Structure 1
């Protein structure tokens, strides 16, 4: 029943997007279904792992912040199902609140979110928290609250260590050149562009070496810990062509943003100028994670941290477009990009039905 209801709601949201109309009642029903799924999910791949963590049976490699959340929830006598529902409901509320500050098209949000990323969030609670707080920190950054943005990311690191990746971007701060960079007569933004090109070069070399470049593995040891279970897990296998899906996906996102950046500059659209610049450079920064994706597809979670940030920006772009062929092209490309996440080689179609039916 839930599978049918979910698909009907998604089709209604899609229809409203295609008609360029909005309906808050449909959006509200979408949110209720999302929270209900978080609350009663028992069929996702990682459900039993998170349940064991919640019951304190397997917490050896869980970050201290997530342990603290579990401790508070258990102290309050909350069951694991309710804990999932609270995490999902709070994260979704934060995402929609920030989304609403840039666009009121909540039907577009659910159209894209329900294709694939919703199921990732239900399956991976810590990733759900991480992506939400990365968006929140970006929102603070866009509103000239850099201190709040840094504090938010520091808190998030205690829940998911992958957040360090975005903390580095925030501290690097492409918006202004430090004294050192001025003395060296170089621009931070140009350095980031060269670093992205270097990452692409490393991907090429790594593939030639059969995805076994020892340098990448040594760097991973520093991050994951030498001899840790996480290191053994991520490097016990290598990908063959699966990484191409993510390269195509993020490459398409980047091309859309690059095109928009030039359009904003050409037509002096000052309203979107600052937002577009930040979106462009954070997506450029994400390219630095590409070499790790080649070794294990799970490293896509580094880049996936900006999913909600991109959704906010794409909503702004679509709303600024007239209802013409170009508008429908925008929508089609974004829907196809989101469907890439659901290819069997990456996650498997069965997860959708296991989560909804579970």
Structure 2
């Protein structure tokens, strides 16, 4: 879609600005020449004001809006995007055309209007965002994981690549569209309850240079990003890269990334779990959360063992010393029964995806 096409859509929306506001921001109210609402996502309030009348362009143009609290501003295409929780501009443009009753450009198809709009940050918005992602082979996500010493060719259905995921700076500012690794947060039944986003630098050369390059949305409490299905054993840690580093050494061990120390302490235990391995990060902030998790597990009759890295976390160990050294260290910390079950038969230098260790 060209810049001229975008400008034309924005102008057509501005010509019926009040109708747009009544449709996409129904919790707001008209006050003179403005539509007042809490924010662009439709929260009740009066912080954001949309100009309903004015010139076609320039200062005071109809359809332009400003949020007095956050300092954000934009046009009615931004209102459609934020109010519906859309992440791909093609979907925003299609929705604008539908509202204006304009023909859809070929070969684009109309969005499914049978579904109600998803509230931003909701589980439904998370499901739609994950559905927009693609498999990670050959994408910047694969490059990012390789840069962290993790083989991306294994079975990683919980991870997807989004080429243009919206990032809104903390405290307001310009929203940007950046490549991102999107991870599915699921419950014990495997149902998606949220997503975690890691925004990436171009080509996957590390994380993007942002104030918050990682964020989660949806329902997190008790859930996590899962790799492998837990039965009697489970290893749980905070970060995705941390648990995937452990799985490089123990490819058959089911692991869960809780995404923060607080959420780690609250994970739900699968039926039949008898031994839980808690991955330690060498930071004092998470120690209290790990203690709470161990207490909860003990109350449920689950044995808990802590796995401790040599450096700051297991990804640091993997990148510094390699997968064979990581296996050797884990062998000393695993229950003997689990060491025989998960380490015996592992070929030196071979990962779950069959690639040589870094």
| Structure number having the greater strand percentage | 2
| Structure number having the greater helix percentage | 1
User: TM-score, normalised to structure 2's length?
Assistant: 0.26
Larger Rg: 2
User: TM-score, normalised to structure 1's length?
Assistant: 0.26
